[in-house]
Amino acid sequence: MSLLEVNGLKLRFHSLDGPVEPLNGINFQLEKGEVLGLVGETGCGKSITAKSVIKLISYSGGEIINGTIIFDNEDLLSKSEKEMQKIRGAKISLISQDPMTSLDPVYRVGDQIIEAIQVHKKLHYKEAKKEAVELIRLMGIPLPKKVFYQYPHELSGGMKQRIIIAIALSCDPALVIADEPTTALDVTIQAQIINLFTKLINKFQSSFLLITHDLGVVAQMCDSVAIMYAGNIVEKGPVRKIFHSPKHPYTEGLLQCIPKMDKKQKKLNAIPGSVPHPRNFPTGCRFYPRCQYVMKKCLSQQPELIEIDNEHFVACFRYFKNSDGE
Amino acid sequence: MQQNIRRSKKKLKLNEEKQYTPRNKSRIILLKFKKNKMAIIGLAIISILIFTGIFANFIAPQSYREQNLSLKNQSPSTDFWFGTDEFGRCIFSRIVYGARISLKVGIISTGISVLIGIIIGSISAYYGGFLDQILVVVMDVMWAFPTILLSLIIVAIIGASLNSVIIAIALSYWVQYARLIRGQILSLKNELYIEVIRSLGANDSTILWKHLLPNAIIPVVVAATLGMGSAIVLEATLSFLGMGAQPPTPSWGSMLSNGRTYLFIAPWSAIIPGIATIITVLGFNLLGDGLRDIMDIKMKE
C-alpha cells in the first residue's frame, strides 16, 4: 500500500477572464520511504500539485474539482479544515521555496521551532527547547545554542533554509514535501543543503516529494521521478531508467539541455518554444507544438500514461502498440 | 607552538560550550531611544504629566474647588503661581488636577479605540469576503464624519459627563486604527511565512493573533501615541463646548472656556490651560514621532 496516492487531480482557479484549469488529472504514487522527484519547467503546475496535497490550495485561490488524494489510507479531500490542521506539520510538512521570507521576522528562530513542536506535541517549553536545539545541531549548524536565540534577519539564506528544514522535520512527519528547496540559494550552499537532505533521508524514515527543475538534484537524491509538462505527468519511473533511456520527447529534450563536460558543444541545446499558458493549452497532446516527432494523432487526442517497461510509464503515442501510425 | 595550538583549541571549545544568553530586544530599543533626543523630550514631558496626574493631591497647593471670591482674578503671585480665576480658585491647582483628567481621557479612550480598531480591522482583513465588505463600508461611513461632530452627537445622546466623553472619543477614533491594521494585515497575510505557519498545522487564531498581529502592530503603537494627543485635544474641545466634564471638575477645556470671558481682565486664566494643552500634545507628538524611528523591526546594532 503506498503512502500517498494522487489520482486524477484537477484544479480550478477563478480569474477575471474566467476559470483556469492548470492541472489535467495528475496521477502518482509515493511509497513509504521513497523519494520522488517532480520535475518540470516553470508554470507546469508542480507547486500547486504540492499545495493541493496538503490542501492549502484554497488559500491561494484555487479549488480542487476532481480527483482523490489518499494519504495513509485516508481520503484527505473529505477531511475538514480542523482535521487537516492536525495532519499538516505532524504527518505531512512542506518546505517552501524561498528561505528568505519563510520565517516570521518578529520571533527568534528557536521559538519558531518550538512553536512547530508544540502545535502537535504536548511538551513543556524546556523539553521542546532541548528538542529544538538538538534539531538545529542535526541540521549541521555550528553553535546551535547561539542560533537558537537569533532572529531570522541575522541568519544567512543557507542557515534559514536549514532552520526551515528543522521546522519541517520537527514532528517527524511521514511525508515531507520540499518545494524547490535549493532554488533560492547559491550553488555552494545548494550542494550543502542537498548533502544535508541526503543525510536526513537516511536518518528519518520519511518519504520525500521533491519538487524541482534541477535534474542534477533529482539524480542525486531521488529514487523515482515524474516529469511534468503543462499540467500533465508525461513520464514517470525509476530515476536510472529515465535518465538512461528517456522515452518521452520532452524528457529527452530536458536531458539534452544539460551541458556536458566531456563533449565539446558550441551551443547549448534548447527545446524550441515555451510552456503554453493554462488558458490556451493546445488540444490533443499538449507538447505537440514543440515536439520533433509530432504525428497526426497528436493534434487531436491526448495520450494516456502507459507502462512500457517495469514501472516505467510514458504518455506518448509513439509507444502505443496498436496506434494508427506504427 | 604545541602549547599555543592546545590553548586555542581550548578557547574554541569554551566558545562552543558557552551558554548564550538571549539577546535583549528591549536593551536595543533602549539604546536607540537614548539616541533620539526628540523622543526623550516627549517622554520627559509625558512622564512629568503622569507624575503630576498621579500625585495631584500632594502637588497642588490648594483645593481645586475651593472658592474665595475676595481673591478672584488675581494675577500670578507667590501665593497663586498661575493666578486665580473668576471664583478665586487657584489656577495652578486646577491645572495640576486637570492633568489627571486629560491623561485619563487620553489614555483610556485611545486604549478603547485601539482595541476596537485592532479587533475589527484584523478580523475584517483576515477573513475577507462579505464580512470585510460590510466592515469596510461601516468604516468608510464613520471615516466620512468629522470627528468633532461625531463625538458631539454621541455625547448629546448619552449625556454630558467625563465617561461619556471617553466613550465618544473612543468611538470617534477607532476607525483610523482599524483601517491601519486592516491595511497591514492585508499585505502581511500573503507573506510566505504565514503560509509556512499554516502548513505546520496552525489554526486561524494562532496565525492571526500570534503571527500577523505582532508584525502589524508597530505602526499602530506609533499612531496610538500620536492619537493620545488628538484625544486630549478633542476632550478639551468638548469641554470647551460644555459637553465634557462638568464643573467644578477642572478640565483644561472648560477652564479655557471660562477664562475666555475674562480674557482682557485676567488673560492668564485662559492662556495657561491653553499652554498646558499645547505642551501635552507636543509631548505625545514628539514621543510618537520618535517611536516611529525607533520601532523598526529590523533592529540594527
Q: What is the pLDDT of residues B29-52, one digit of tens each?
A: 777 778 888 889 999 999 999 998
Q: Is B12 on the interface with A (CB under 8 A)?
A: no
Would you tell me which residues 201-240 of chain B have a C-beta closer than 8 angstroms to some C-beta of chain A? 201-203, 206, 210-211, 214-215
What is the percentage of chain A residues whose pLDDT exceeds 70? 98
Would you tell me which residues 103-162 of chain A have a C-beta closer than 8 angstroms to some C-beta of chain B? 103-108, 115-116, 119-120, 143, 145-146, 148-150, 153
Query: Is residue A189 a part of any domain in this protein?
Result: yes
Task: Identify whether the C-beta of residue A77 lies closer than 8 Å to the C-beta of residue A69.
Answer: yes
B138: pLDDT strictly greater than 80: yes
Would you tell me which residues 13-32 of chain B have a C-beta closer than 8 angstroms to some C-beta of chain A? 15-16, 19-23
Q: pLDDT value at position B17? A: 47
**Phi, psi of A11, deg, nearest 5:** -120, 160
Cβ–Cβ below 8 Å for A119 and B202: yes
Please tell me the distance in Å from B179's CA to the nearest CA on chain A.
22
> What is the C-alpha separation between A81 and B203, in angstroms, rounded?
9
> What is the C-alpha separation between A258 and A219, in angstroms, rounded?
12
Query: Is residue A311 a part of any domain in this protein?
Result: yes
Task: Identify whether the C-beta of residue B238 lies closer than 8 Å to the C-beta of residue B164.
Answer: no
Report the number of distinct structural domains present in chain A: 1
Q: pLDDT value at position B300? A: 47
Count of residues for chain A? Answer: 326
Strand partners, A4: A30, A71
- State the Rg of chain B over Cα: 26
Report the residue of chain A nearest B16, measured CA to CA: A143
Cβ–Cβ below 8 Å for B195 and A90: no
> What is the C-alpha separation between B167 and B111, in angstroms, rounded?
11
User: What ipTM was estimated for this complex?
Assistant: 0.83
Would you tell me which residues 264-293 of chain B have a C-beta closer than 8 angstroms to some C-beta of chain A? none
Query: Is residue A155 a part of any domain in this protein?
Result: no
Q: Is B38 on the interface with A (CB under 8 A)?
A: no
B24: pLDDT strictly greater than 70: no
Q: Which of B20, B21, B195 is closest, CB to CB, to A56?
A: B195
Q: pLDDT value at position B124? A: 93
Please tell me the distance in Å from A87's CA to the nearest CA on chain B.
7
Question: Could you tell me whether strands A92-95 and A74-75 are parallel, antiparallel, or unpaired per DSSP bridges?
Answer: unpaired
Environment class of B180 (CB within 10 Å of its CB; exposed 0-12, middle 13-18, buried 19+)? buried
Please tell me the distance in Å from B61's CA to the nearest CA on chain A.
48
Q: Is B301 on the interface with A (CB under 8 A)?
A: no
pLDDT bracket for residue B281 (50, 70, 90): very high
* Domains of chain B from N-terminus onward: 42-51+98-294 (1.10.3720.10)
> What is the C-alpha separation between B289 and A252, in angstroms, rounded?
62
Q: From residue B38, give the alpha-carbon distance in Å to each of A152, B26, B155, B281, B289.
A: 31, 19, 35, 14, 8
Query: Is residue A227 a part of any domain in this protein?
Result: yes
Report the range of poorest mean pLDDT among A30-34, B202-206, B228-232, B266-270: B266-270
> What is the C-alpha separation between A306 and A242, in angstroms, rounded?
14
Q: Which of B20, B191, B201 is closest, CB to CB, to A119?
A: B201
**Helix residue ranges, H only, A25-178:** 46-53, 81-87, 109-120, 125-138, 144-148, 157-169
Q: pLDDT value at position B5? A: 60
Average pLDDT score over chain B:
83
Q: Look up the pTM and report it.
A: 0.80
Query: Is residue A158 a part of any domain in this protein?
Result: no
Cβ–Cβ below 8 Å for B192 and A102: yes
Range A188-191, long-range pairs (CB < 8 A, 24+ positions): A189/A157, A189/A158, A189/A161, A190/A217
Task: Identify whether the C-beta of residue A200 lies closer than 8 Å to the C-beta of residue A165.
Answer: yes
Query: Is residue A146 a part of any domain in this protein?
Result: no
> What is the C-alpha separation between A112 and A106, in angstroms, rounded?
10
Q: Positive or negative, the Cα torsion across A90, A92, A95, A101?
A: negative
Q: 448629546: which residue's cell?
A: B156
Please tell me the distance in Å from A178's CA to the nearest CA on chain B.
12
Residues in chain B with CB shorter than 8 Å from the CB of A141 are none
Cβ–Cβ below 8 Å for B196 and A153: no
Cβ–Cβ below 8 Å for A150 and B23: yes
Residues in chain A with CB shorter than 8 Å from the CB of B15 are 143
Query: Is residue A272 a part of any domain in this protein?
Result: yes
Q: What is the pLDDT of residues B87-133, one digit of tens each?
A: 778 888 888 888 888 899 999 999 999 999 999 999 999 998 899 99
Please tell me the distance in Å from A205's CA to the nearest CA on chain B.
19
pLDDT bracket for residue B7 (50, 70, 90): low
The tally of CA atoms less than 13 A away on the side-chain side of residue A252 is 12
Please tell me the distance in Å from B212's CA to the nearest CA on chain A.
9
Which residues span the domain enclosing A75?
4-91+173-319
> What is the C-alpha separation between A233 and A26, in angstroms, rounded?
6
Query: Is residue A159 a part of any domain in this protein?
Result: no
Residue type, A39: V
Q: What is the pLDDT of residues B165-223, one digit of tens each?
A: 999 999 999 999 999 999 999 999 888 889 888 888 888 888 989 899 988 888 898 89
> What is the C-alpha separation between B80 and B264, in angstroms, rounded?
19
Would you tell me which residues 30-49 of chain A have a C-beta closer than 8 angstroms to some C-beta of chain B? none
B10: pLDDT strictly greater than 60: no
Is the preceding peptide bond at B248 cis, omega within 30 degrees of 0? yes
Q: CA B163, B168, B170, B174: dihedral to nearest 10 degrees? A: 170
Q: Which of A86, A106, A108 is closest, CB to CB, to B297?
A: A106
**Phi, psi of B184, deg, nearest 5:** -60, -50
Cβ–Cβ below 8 Å for B201 and A85: yes
- What DSSP character marks residue B21? P
Task: Identify whether the C-beta of residue A162 lies closer than 8 Å to the C-beta of residue A140.
Answer: yes
Please tell me the distance in Å from B147's CA to the nearest CA on chain A.
34
Cα B251 to chain center, whole Å?
Answer: 18
Q: pLDDT value at position B284? A: 92
Beta strands in chain A (DSSP E): 4-15, 18-20, 26-30, 35-39, 62-71, 74-75, 92-95, 175-179, 207-212, 224-229, 232-238, 306-309, 312-314
Cβ–Cβ below 8 Å for A86 and B16: no
Q: Which residues of chain A have pLDDT under 50?
A: 323-326
> What is the C-alpha separation between A42 and A39, in angstroms, rounded?
10
- State the Rg of chain A over Cα: 21
Q: Check which CATH number belongs to the domain holding A275 and give it.
A: 3.40.50.300
> What is the C-alpha separation between A99 and A168, in angstroms, rounded?
12
Neighbours of A281 (CB within 10 A): 17
Report the residue of chain A nearest B296, measured CA to CA: A106
Report the residue of chain A nearest B214, measured CA to CA: A106
Q: From residue A82, give the alpha-carbon distance in Å to each of A87, A137, B201, B202.
A: 9, 33, 9, 10
What is the percentage of chain B residues whose pLDDT exceeds 70? 89
